[in-house]
Amino acid sequence: MDNTVTMEKIVSLAKRRGFVFQSSEIYGGQAGAWDYGPAGIELKNRIQRFWWKEMTQLHDDIVGLDAAILMHPRVWEASGHVENFTDPLVDCKKCKQRFRADQIDPEKLEKKECPECGGELTDTRKFNLMFKTNIGPVDDGTGLIYLRPETAQGIYVNYKNIAQSNRMKLPFGIAQVGKAFRNEIVTKNFIFRTCEFEQMEMQYFVKPGQDETWFDYWRDQRWKYYEKLGVRMDKLRWHRHGPGELAHYAKDAYDIEYEFPMGWKELEGVHNRSDYDLSRHQQFSGKDLQYIDQDDGNARYVPYIIETSAGLTRQLLMVLCDAYEDQKVADKGNEDDWRTVLHFHPELAPVTVAVLPLMKKDGLAELAQDIRKDLKEDFPTDYDQGGAIGRRYRRQDEIGTPFCVTIDYQSKEDGTVTVRYRDSMEQVRVPRAELAARIRADIKAYKRA
């Protein structure tokens, strides 16, 4: 064992402990798609909830939405996706591998030389990333419909509905979490880039001229979010898009990048989208999408949009990589003992409290079950009575359970239990009656070591 974090270790733990499985594995797997197992879905739900709380509960001017995946095909013409949502694609004539031209060394691309085998590359051609399907009984092209490649458009087309039904005044935001689909040419690095994934997007509508101030505000907010999430901030950095990198809608764009085991990669984008989106929808739908500003003499204008766009499944990968540690521990006097531990924020961990009777016999198992019943209402719990206690702690460490509660003979006598902390492996005795309050206080006070 050593303490480096590699994608191989992450993928292997994810499978072994039920976080993420390959889609359709028994058929050899489906590229670009992954399934979230019992631990994975708990983690994913909690990351989503953390983000949702941050956006809607902690910001008074943001409301939520859940729009359909299937949208009118004109949406994607208006948004620019039909025309512009393409990747440049090249194939190697010899080894048949496919590449994104923008990810190949420009010199090799110029010489049309395959980066893998040196064979000859085809000309670069544009490849649209949207999945097409058909709605209705006849498949003759008239029922063409797309699987949405981003959740943002569902927000834009509902902007007026929400402004009116909820009497929203500018500036205000709309948050949404949901699936998105992209026919990615290269899907590698596990769940980092997939064809089916989930996004957490927030679109903030502002008065033109105030967009730059709000853009700065949201960059600051998003940075602070990751601090709260308890990840290592020295692994995050900003990347500003240069003129050649800016998307067709963007006035200014920054990415938050994380240093994954395979290098620095985009985690989330914060974009100033100008009035591009609503102007285009106004033009294509023929509907008036202007805002009437009662605080400014009923002035009419198309709002600017500041977007924060994060991948939920990509954030899950980040959280896994960030939490992962192979740690040398000498807690049992054995110098060469190692444990794999996930240092999740306690609010993200799939299990918050594991209840472990020291022995199955002498009424300890029954007492432990009874204590678990107490805790269940407040926390996601687990119960494990199999094997040596040290081994059981290790199993919980591997899925990132922050608190283990051990019931022993003393518990029967004086009503105290032992709380064992994941990160420090420290153990303290706590009266049973104070257990839930203690855990709640520890969660609140949590700081990444």
Between 194 and 416, whose beta carbon lies closer to ligand ATP? 194
- Residue 40 engages ligand ATP in binding (rule: CB under 6 A): no
- CA dihedral angle for residue 239, residue 241, residue 247, residue 253, rounded to 10 degrees: 70
Q: Which of 97, 89, 81, 91 has its CA nearest to residue 132?
A: 81
- Residue 197 engages ligand ATP in binding (rule: CB under 6 A): yes
- Cβ pair 13, 314 in contact under 8 A: no
Between 159 and 190, whose beta carbon lies closer to ligand ATP? 190
- Residue 313 engages ligand ATP in binding (rule: CB under 6 A): yes
- Residue 184 engages ligand ATP in binding (rule: CB under 6 A): yes
How many helices and strands, by DSSP H and E, does the chain display?
A: 14, 23
- Residue 266 engages ligand ATP in binding (rule: CB under 6 A): yes
SS3 434: helix
Size of the site for ligand ATP (CB under 6 A): 16
**What mask of x and - would describe binding to ligand ATP in positions 363 to 392, judged by CB under 6 A?**
------------------------------
Between 314 and 420, whose beta carbon lies closer to ligand ATP? 314
- Residue 182 engages ligand ATP in binding (rule: CB under 6 A): yes
Specify the DSSP class assigned to residue 99. E
- Cβ pair 419, 403 in contact under 8 A: yes
Least separation in angstroms between residue 171's CB and ligand ATP is 22
Q: Is 205 exposed, middle or buried (0-12, 13-18, 19+ CB in 10 A)?
A: buried
SS3 430: strand
Least separation in angstroms between residue 41's CB and ligand ATP is 17
Give me the amino acid identity at 286.
G
Stretch that binds ligand ATP, among 131-139, 307-315, 340-348, 371-379 (CB under 6 A): 307-315
Q: What is each CA distance from 54 to 47, 60, 311, 427, in whole angstroms?
A: 11, 10, 15, 32
Stretch that binds ligand ATP, among 194-202, 327-335, 394-402, 422-430 (CB under 6 A): 194-202
Q: Which of 176, 309, 352, 381 binds ligand ATP (CB under 6 A)?
A: 309
Interacting residue ranges for ligand ATP, rule: CB under 6 A: 150, 182, 184, 193-194, 197, 199, 266-269, 309-311, 313-314
